[in-house]
């Protein structure tokens, strides 16, 4: 066990039980013409974290630790897309519509792909998920159990939507969760800050938060 400097107190890293989970670093959330932009968001906030997410992934890979990637997306026939999700609000493009990067948030379309700098390599787990949380309607829980993973280090977007939802799902399932501050982002600076604060409040009620150099150095030391 290695102690990682974290908030609200040290994180007890176990190298035999930890995985990195990178949430939804997809073109649809980070590039103009995608789903995030269609909701009216400034997507440039998301691309700014790519170098740190890459550094984190490379640190886990170099140590031989598992890296899991998730993608928010739906079947081409929309059978896993609740009308309540598709019809919400007044976006320029709805999920399943044809956009500049193919059909929005549909599995296999160019815009749904993970950003090329952060693309999974052979052997890494990729979870396609129809919801905000990565446990809902996916095999993630069974995969983690079969590999003896009990700790999840979180990166990805957006902090208060898919990252926080997945952390809460994981926390309720008994996983120890650590969010890396430089490797997550929101379209709203205040929502990122609030999500980080609420996750680690009340004695890490949802999980811990840490800075990227502390986890990378901790992995090296261990
Ligand atoms: N991945 C994820 O967070 N999906 C979203 O739709 N996030 C928004 O903040 N819109």
Mutate to test the pocket of ligand 1, among 158, 179, 192 (most ligand atoms within 8 A of CB): 158
Confidence at residue 219, expressed as pLDDT on a 0 to 100 scale? 97
Which residues in the chain come in under a pLDDT of 50?
none
Residue 159 is classified by DSSP as I
98 is a catalytic site residue:
no
User: What pTM, to 2 d.p., does this model score?
Assistant: 0.98
Q: Please state the φ and ψ torsions of residue 191, each to the nearest 5 degrees.
A: -75, -35
- How far does the centroid of ligand 1 lie from the alpha carbon of residue 183, in Å? 15
Rg over CA atoms, the chain: 17
pLDDT at 209: 99
Looking at 28, 52, 73, 162, which residue is catalytic? 162
pLDDT of residue 222: 86
Q: How far is the CA of 160 from the centre of ligand 1 (A)?
A: 8
Q: Write the CB contacts of 109 (distance below 8 Å, at least 6 apart in sequence).
A: 101, 102, 103
Task: Name the pairing type of β-strands 102-103 and 98-99.
Answer: antiparallel
What does the DSSP 8-state code read for residue 111?
G
Strand, coil or helix: what is 66? coil
Q: Which of 129, 132, 177, 192 is catalytic?
A: 129
Instruction: Decide if 219 contacts 14 (C-beta within 8 A).
Output: no
Identify the pLDDT of residue 88: 95
């Amino acid at each position: 066990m290695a102690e990682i400097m974290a908030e609200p107190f040290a994180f007890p890293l176990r190298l035999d039980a930890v995985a990195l989970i990178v949430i939804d670093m997809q073109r649809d959330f980070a590039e103009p013409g995608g789903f995030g932009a269609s909701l009216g968001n400034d997507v440039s906030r998301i691309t700014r974290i790519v170098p740190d997410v890459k550094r984190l992934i490379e640190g886990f890979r170099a140590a031989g630790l598992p890296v899991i990637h998730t993608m928010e997306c739906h079947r081409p026939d929309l059978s896993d897309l609740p009308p309540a999700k598709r019809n919400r609000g007044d976006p320029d493009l709805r999920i399943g519509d044809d956009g500049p990067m193919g059909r929005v948030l549909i599995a296999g379309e160019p815009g749904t792909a993970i950003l090329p700098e952060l693309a999974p390599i052979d052997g890494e787990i990729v979870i396609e998920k129809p919801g905000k949380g990565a446990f809902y309607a996916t095999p993630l829980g069974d995969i983690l159990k079969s590999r003896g993973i009990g700790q999840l280090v979180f990166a990805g977007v957006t902090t208060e939507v898919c990252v926080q939802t997945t952390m809460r799902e994981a926390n309720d399932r008994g996983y120890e969760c650590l969010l890396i501050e430089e490797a997550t982002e929101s379209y709203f600076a205040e929502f990122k800050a609030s999500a980080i604060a609420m996750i680690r409040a009340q004695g890490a009620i949802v999980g811990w938060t840490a800075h990227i150099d502390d986890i990378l150095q901790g992995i090296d030391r261990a």
